[in-house]
Each structure stands twice: as C-alpha cells, then as structure tokens.
Amino acid sequence: MDLPWKFPDPMEEARKRAAEFQRLPPDDRWREIAALFAFGWATVKASPRRAAIEARMEEQEREWQRIQKELFAKHGS
C-alpha cells in the first residue's frame, strides 16, 4: 500500500463534470437535470427526517414568495 493516498482535486473534478455537461445536447441536459431532481426527491422520501425536510422546504418556499411579493410591490408596474 502506497502512502500517503492522493485524492483528486475537487475543483478539477468539477471542471471536468461541467465540461461534460456543456457538451451534451439541450435535451440530454434537461434529462440530467430531471434525473437530479428525481434523485433528490427519492432521497427526501427515503429519509427518516422526511417531515423536517419537507417542513423546511415549505418554509423556504413561503419566504421566497414573500420576497417576490415585496419586490413586485416595490418595483413592479
């Protein structure tokens, strides 16, 4: 066993993945995005903390709606 172990640079890995994604045709990009969302929802549904996660998501949604209403009231026509 060779020590110390060397791990890949996370920034380089991110750059590679981004370049791979950018080379995809638009329809494949959307499929990748949809698959990521599906994975996230499956993770939430399988979590023992599902109720807390969903409550937090609802709280964030309410806050985002409040911010939007405030912006439109202030800057909308």
pLDDT value for 9? 95
Whole-angstrom distance, CA of residue 46 vs CA of residue 70:
35
User: What is residue 2's predicted lDDT score, i.e. its pLDDT?
Assistant: 73
Token reading at 40: 């996230």
* pLDDT tens track for 51-62: 999 999 999 999
Per-residue pLDDT of the chain (77 residues; tens, 9 = 90+): 677 888 999 999 999 999 999 999 999 999 999 999 999 999 999 999 999 999 999 999 999 999 999 999 999 87
Q: Which pLDDT score, from 0 to 100, does residue 1 have?
A: 66
Which pLDDT does position 5 carry in this prediction? 87
Peptide bond preceding 4 in cis form (omega within 30 of 0): yes
